[in-house]
Structure 1
């Protein structure tokens, strides 16, 4: 429909009959007229809508009008002076529609029978049932138009996606074999008959599908222990037959990268493997491609368009759709056979992603984090070639807090010299090991790589602990000492914590072992600190590493506590002396003994009285004792004259004014207390002025 031609049609005016109809009815919001007109040689149904509330006021202008052709519709808003069009259907424009009665309503009535007949004749192709409804027919027609518009809109998007997907080449020959052999290489099992007292037992390898004999003494099979199949030599996980589930299900994401012109496409496949115990360990294997990401270089910036296989816009049929983050393929095992060819001529030609994956064997790599990180930190290639795989992983994951990521050389990036870098390379250390080596270099200690690794496995990257150790002994000696002490610790019945119930894997036996070592190290640091305070000779190895650490720790703890108690007692005595001196100086002030309105001021005699006042009235005045001792403030008690020994209100006086006055549980002052406090403040001011006047005269 031509909007210009439609807008030139004369705007409708309401007739006298329509105004009278509006005044007689009160159940409808709109009164409509309908007529079939000819526009540019096409028959069009014109519906004019007049608001009943405006007709009652004898305003004859229409609110809006709708033009309906055989294939489209459009609505003109007549409430605006300028031409304004709406594409919404009557469902959004007319609004309310009720279903509670047998007759359906739309808050609209036709102005006359001729209007109804015109609309009914034009929309007859959309009538249903014996009692056709004009508005239902119009709604059905508009729904068809909206659906057609939506399909056209979606087609523009899906055509672009389909065109992009047509560029993706076929999977390389041997890709599925690689998935089965390499990517899922850690998902092979040897199910064996448990036989603790036998020399030989039997098992079934799910990879070579053979029953094998196992030498128990040499192989020593254990549940979930890694080993090799005696028949095919393949790496397998040993599982006793009684522990093997009915359905052993394993899944993993794998990533295949391919070159399409100047674009790198990453294809993510979800691999699912299932082994059924009751069907002679029958294995089923499926590979489903669920995600695709297109990476394009634009100067220095990297543009990524990602898609997933799913339901597009609730249409019901699966296809490639824009990424909705429904699939978690952040980490995947990367197919490395074609990477040199894929990255050739691109910014990633030296990124060493293939080396990263080969170092991790069949463990997943955070592919897109790596691809996003590499343009900023191109030295990842250098770290990978140096064997620093763990450190590379921490940089990619954003956990490398010990590095100067803007450095240019390995020494400036890592913050350690070459001989310490060689130790880090030897143990393939991460951030924790790097922190320890930094501390060792600071202490001018050159440790062995295995000692650093062992320390980190036990205590993490605790540079404070290793700094104390370096001052007195070798790291190896400390590791051995802690191993010995941990074996003699009393064993308690383990009660799993909340974290263990939520995530049992994160609270494994290995993690509990680390927690035990770290708690022991904390106790040792406390022990050394207490010993130094008590003037023990911590250079003496017998003191530094007592044969029975538990007993030595408890003994020194008691001595240290007694020492601290004695220090506190002396401090309190000194504090009381200072408080008494400050209070004695205030005794001569008349206002400090003021009585009025049944209330009185009482000067505390000691710091303990102030603390007792706070405990009785449940407020924090007890914490003001030291400030009183230093002369920074003054604490006074307000008591009733009838009960001078019962705490009532507590007052703080400082710098010539009352700072606060609190009662029980920090309650505010009553009217009589407030008046008493004002009188006290005024009297203190008068006495201060009088004293200053006397001093002035003496000086003159």
Structure 2
């Protein structure tokens, strides 16, 4: 209050043992006039403190934006890579250039997209000093490309385990199964489960499904239309020992129509028959 910062004094300050204003805020004394003029909140000050070589004018400009807490928290992370003023101009330009449903998203969505992109670029050891890396022409496109690369790297050990399971006979009984409308697709990589879950907005991409699948008892299969064999349609989890459907869901966990369920039940019966035939053949 003595420093002329009633907004800061009334805010939620950290429970710290700071002895003076620079210790509390992380900004030097030369920021004090700008703090007074703008009556900066603690989150606004924290955001500026995260930016390298920030000056009092940066604080004034940020406070003039009147951004909410979510935006400030995102900008605090972004400030480690790019200036706050530049970042805001870039993200707003990306929002203006977006089309369709993307354009309806508000500023926090684009800031979150930008923060995630920068974190992924750093994790992939991109040259963060290059302007083309810091501010790509199409943020959404680059974000999705890096996300695919990161997921591929994360999936690599599990893909190797999946391949080992296949090589050791995970699908020893399997045959092609289809009718005029539908066909069964067997996942062959860990990332196949991830992609299926992402496309259909359900949880089959989770680690637990993968672990059960490679054990060969509670397994995941993709039900596709014959006319679109590469497009996710419905996902089945099946107990291959009993021929029981554990789960059968489409987009957003929607229930399967009766013709898809009938097709999947026929596949379950075939699994038991194929396994039984192979066991009898091996015994003979």
For normalisation by structure 2, the TM-score amounts to 0.49
Point out the structure with the larger helix share. 2
Report the TM-score, using the length of structure 1 for normalisation: 0.23
Structure with max Cα Rg: 1
Taking CA–CA contacts closer than 8 Å with sequence separation of 6 or more, which of the two structures ends up with the larger relative contact order?
Answer: 2
Comparing both structures, which one devotes a greater share of its residues to strand? 1
